Structure 1
Amino acid sequence: MAPSLRKSVTRAVTGTLGLRGERMSKVDTAWLRMDSPVNLMVIVGVWVFRPGVDFDAFCERLLERLSKYPRFLQRVVEDPAGATWVRDRQFDILHHVVRGRLRRRRGDSERQALQARVAELAMTPLDRRHPLWQFELIESYDGGSALIARIHHCIGDGIALISVMMSLFDGGLPPPERPRRGAAAPAPDPLGAIETWLAGNVLKPLTGATVKAINVAGDGAARSLDLLSRPQEGLAQTLGQSADMARLGGQVLSDLAELVLMPDDSPTGLKGEAGTTKRVAWCDPLPLDEVKAIGKGLGCSINDVLLSCVAGALGAYLRGQGEATEGKEIRAMVPVNLRPLDQAWKLGNRFGIVPLVLPIGIENPVERLYEVKRRMHGLKGSTQPLLVYGVLSIAGALARPVQELLLSLFHRKTTAVMTNVPGPQKKLTLCGATLEQNMFWVPQTGHIGLGVSILSYGGGVQFGLITDSGLCPEPQKIIDQFEPEFTKLLTLAMMLPWGLEA
């Protein structure tokens, strides 16, 4: 190790010697406990750089930036009542940044070899003796280098981790300073008030410990319940502390009943008992300007267009496997941010989930697009993300078998987990190398065997899949359907009279 790197390691560790153990939140505990032999609760990302990234320079950058976030220097200690964050006295950056090499089978491309390595690491547990994250740097890949990132979900959700990862890049800003003692008290937390109301009035029959299970003093503020109208802004508005909970009661009870009584989605080859191996695939970026053109021409949002392409690709894949899809639809669980974006650096999990039913049986691309738009509109105003957040809070306070039983409500009725995240539209640099492509996948829980990732970056939109090898051994066959479905909509949009209202 270079002397400068050794000094940085020493500084990073000694700077945390004053940290005491901190109890893990109930929601984060729930994610910690959800690791299973068929699905690890690890967020996996892939970055492709040109030119290559220097190993020592990358280690130095990580130490400089991640030492600002105590979670990345702390390990987890579990006990019967939950878990605690404690500093890792043996912290060594070389436990967390390792060199990797791709093993190429005869006939495999570099991308296929990288995809195989990502799939392998997705099912490789992180070392619980140390902080639960690791980067593997492939120093020679496609004229540059590739970086595979793995971070356990208990450290933070996607929005929080994006904030952290952006701080690593050249010019990235460190997290804001924590308030000093004696500083003004933070504003009241309406999300905590909603959690308390949910516990006392809706979820209490589940357990007498429900009210205590939910963390009333949360870090974030409640956001508008107009959950999916502007996902790039998260939940853009806040509820006042004096929000009329009685007014929300009818909506909450209705949404709760809908969650509990969700019918099973259609049986397909993509749903079943998951195994212990994964497959990964992704496509080249599609031009974001063309996605916007489709939306403008057909009077739909960018999200409507992208989700319609997902539904079309999945349906086309199943038909190619000999399955009839007429009248079929599958349910995807979609994470929804519940925190102010200026507090993402605080880490932890602060999101809910909304179920989105994809009409895979509609082959007509325009009909399918407008059906997706209709369903997306129907989700606006839903309190289901808050309900799911409350359920996760409760689950984290229960014994593991009871937690698994409670969360199986969602696993049994779901085929996929899907994320749709807008990233920077200008390409970023890290240690002087340009980030050309990036993908990431959130974990699937229970026996869910399909993860779909949609990420916009640098003027493009990229689709990626992670699948259970027994349920979908060749996810590239699904990926190969995205561009044809997209091209159909683009062709139709280009034929419209652009001088008129859509």
Structure 2
Amino acid sequence: RFKAMIEDRLMAHERFRCRVAESALPLGRPSWEEDDQFTLRYHLRKVALAAPHDQEALQELVSDLMSTPLDRSRPLWQIHVVENYAHGTAVIIRIHHCIADGIALVRLLFSLTDEEPEETPVQRRGAGKTPKGSSRSLLGAAESLIDRGREVIINPDRLAELIQGGFGAAGVLTRLIQRPADPKTSFKGRVTITKKAAWTGPIPLEDVKAIGKTFGYTINDVLMTVAAGAMRSYLLGRGDQIEGEDVHAVVPVNIRPAEEMDKLGNRFGLVFVALPVGVAEPLERLRTVHRRMERLKKSPEAGVVFSVLQLLGLAKPELLALGVDFFGSKATLVLTNVPGPRKHLFMAGSRIRNMMFWVPQSAHMGLGISIFSYAGEVRIGVAADAALVPNPDSLVEHVHGEVQVLAEEARRAAAADG
């Protein structure tokens, strides 16, 4: 049943049958070509999880897969169906960023799900089109993604106005160029091919909302503050001197217009978010994050960076490498926050208990933090270079600690207000 669903929904998109073909011309760009040797058996695999079949074992498997490059002679995706995980099954989906950006992939993956366990109609393949059989769940996911009440990082409507108007573009580019490199911390250094993955247990979304409501801030403000506080605790534990310092997170921002939301490919900009890891007091960290996020919502930075990325994509490899190094020096990590569906979904008739994803690291950055909410719970994932962050579970533990600290501050504030 799972295989039939993949054949009828995922394979409806032609790109999943195509591989990347390098140009024979010196300045030519890569293109998509159909893989005439395509076999679903290579891309869809079944594996048994090692004992004791728990989260630690699954983290080891995810880490191994994350450390293994996809075969560039084939379409750049794989799905592993993992049996014997916590009395159930886990599904690990690997898709290269060249196929689509985060927003497009989220919509695509939600199209593999249903709102009811028996809602799995088979439909005719239609290359490049959203499969009809999943329209209800896809619509629900899309509504969740754009729901203003769930707080995304940037206001897309306002961002579009700023980009189209060219508002402050020159000033933004100047500030990006003049911005100093991020401070040297345990998160910065030479990256290797070996990665490690970890993720938190469930964090009740209502708890996060309650913290934000108490202090008049957004869910996103709270979660960004939690990430900053967890990083601070981890760095202090490694002996880093970080008082008064910021580290910058590169945050992908969707800039595709509404009529292109169902298309694959990449249409995203980047913003640089300064995380106040050098601020010791939790509420002051929260206030600082809020102020910075409010300023960022009025900035055209994502559109400016998108234009720069487009130009780099046309450049020679040497110039492209310089551009990647430039952006990498200005930041320490990639961070993204994706609001998911508010209720449980089903895949091939089975209920999806929880979901997690990891952002790809690039530009020599060895840390990625991904925040995902699903069915009333938030989980935060860490993908890290094994040489720089040998124990990502410690960072995950600090996440839970930071949530508890902010929750306690909220309880004190509520009690003081009577």
TM-score (norm 1): 0.73
CA contact (8 A) 1:96 1:135 kept: yes
1:421 aligns with 2:303: no
The one-character-per-residue Cα deviations of 1:110-154 (angstroms, maximum 9, x if unpaired) are 211211111111121212232111001112110101111110100
CA contact (8 A) 1:234 1:336 kept: no
User: How much does 1:239 deviate?
Assistant: 5.3
1:126 aligns with 2:70: yes
Assess, with a 3 A threshold, how the Cα gap between structure 1 residues 374 and 238 changes in structure 2: closer, same or farther: closer
Q: What is the distance in 2 between the residues matched to 1:85 and 1:394?
A: 20
User: How much does 1:498 deviate?
Assistant: 7.8
1:407 aligns with 2:324: yes
CA contact (8 A) 2:163 2:303 kept: no
1:375 aligns with 2:322: no
Report the counterpart of residue 152 of structure 2 in structure 1.
Answer: 231
User: How much does 1:281 deviate?
Assistant: 0.8
The one-character-per-residue Cα deviations of 1:285-322 (angstroms, maximum 9, x if unpaired) are 10001100110001111011001011101101111122
User: How much does 1:390 deviate?
Assistant: 1.2
Report the counterpart of residue 107 of structure 2 in structure 1.
Answer: 163
The one-character-per-residue Cα deviations of 1:310-350 (angstroms, maximum 9, x if unpaired) are 11011011111222321121111000000135532211001
1:264 aligns with 2:185: no
Report the counterpart of residue 248 of structure 1 in structure 2.
Answer: 166
The one-character-per-residue Cα deviations of 1:368-409 (angstroms, maximum 9, x if unpaired) are 100110111121221111121112211111221221112211
CA contact (8 A) 2:227 2:399 kept: yes
Structure 1 counterpart of 2:393, one-letter code: Q
Structure 1 counterpart of 2:102, one-letter code: G
Assess, with a 3 A threshold, how the Cα gap between structure 1 residues 285 and 341 changes in structure 2: closer, same or farther: farther
Report the counterpart of residue 202 of structure 1 in structure 2.
Answer: none
Structure 2 counterpart of 1:121, one-letter code: L
Assess, with a 3 A threshold, how the Cα gap between structure 1 residues 347 and 482 changes in structure 2: closer, same or farther: same
Matched residue SS, 1:438? coil
Structure 1 counterpart of 2:45, one-letter code: V
Q: What is the distance in 2 between the residues matched to 1:244 and 1:355?
A: 16
Assess, with a 3 A threshold, how the Cα gap between structure 1 residues 430 and 386 changes in structure 2: closer, same or farther: same
1:102 aligns with 2:49: yes
User: How much does 1:475 deviate?
Assistant: 0.6
CA contact (8 A) 1:232 1:422 kept: no
CA contact (8 A) 1:297 1:498 kept: no
Matched residue SS, 1:334? strand
CA contact (8 A) 2:245 2:277 kept: yes
Structure 2: any 5+ residue segments left out of the alignment? 130-147
Assess, with a 3 A threshold, how the Cα gap between structure 1 residues 175 and 292 changes in structure 2: closer, same or farther: farther
User: How much does 1:270 deviate?
Assistant: 0.9
User: How much does 1:364 deviate?
Assistant: 1.0
User: How much does 1:497 deviate?
Assistant: 3.9
Moved more, 132-141 or 230-239: 230-239
User: Over alpha carbons, which structure has the higher Rg?
Assistant: 1
| Residue 299 of structure 1, aligned match among 202, 216, 234 | 216
Moved more, 60-69 or 284-293: 60-69
CA contact (8 A) 2:154 2:253 kept: no
User: How much does 1:156 deviate?
Assistant: 0.2
1:83-482 correspondence to structure 2 within 5 Å:
83-104=30-51, 110-170=54-114, 171=119, 230-231=151-152, 235-236=156-157, 248-249=166-167, 251-341=168-258, 343-482=260-399
Assess, with a 3 A threshold, how the Cα gap between structure 1 residues 150 and 177 changes in structure 2: closer, same or farther: closer
User: How much does 1:494 deviate?
Assistant: 2.1
Q: What is the distance in 2 between the residues matched to 1:239 and 1:367?
A: 31
Assess, with a 3 A threshold, how the Cα gap between structure 1 residues 417 and 233 changes in structure 2: closer, same or farther: closer
CA contact (8 A) 1:336 1:351 kept: yes
TM-score (norm 2): 0.87
Structure 1 counterpart of 2:34, one-letter code: R
Among all aligned residue pairs of Structure 1 and Structure 2, give the percentage whose two residues are the same amino acid. 39
Structure 1: any 5+ residue segments left out of the alignment? 1-56, 181-226
| Residue 82 of structure 1, aligned match among 29, 37, 42 | 29
The one-character-per-residue Cα deviations of 1:229-262 (angstroms, maximum 9, x if unpaired) are 952786136858xx996x635x111100111111
User: How much does 1:172 deviate?
Assistant: 8.1
CA contact (8 A) 1:232 1:421 kept: no
Assess, with a 3 A threshold, how the Cα gap between structure 1 residues 467 and 136 changes in structure 2: closer, same or farther: same
Q: What is the distance in 2 between the residues matched to 1:395 and 1:253?
A: 17
Q: What is the distance in 1 between the residues matched to 2:301 and 2:158?
A: 17
Q: What is the distance in 1 between the residues matched to 2:109 and 2:99?
A: 13
Matched residue SS, 1:231? coil
Q: What is the distance in 2 between the residues matched to 1:293 and 1:322?
A: 33
Q: What is the distance in 2 between the residues matched to 1:369 and 1:255?
A: 25
Matched residue SS, 1:346? coil
Q: How many residues align?
A: 391
Report the counterpart of residue 132 of structure 2 in structure 1.
Answer: none
Q: What is the distance in 2 between the residues matched to 1:278 and 1:380?
A: 32
Assess, with a 3 A threshold, how the Cα gap between structure 1 residues 178 and 371 changes in structure 2: closer, same or farther: same
Structure 1 counterpart of 2:192, one-letter code: G
Assess, with a 3 A threshold, how the Cα gap between structure 1 residues 120 and 239 changes in structure 2: closer, same or farther: closer
Matched residue SS, 1:66? helix
CA contact (8 A) 2:243 2:278 kept: yes
**What is the root-mean-square deviation of aligned Cα atoms in Å?**
2.7
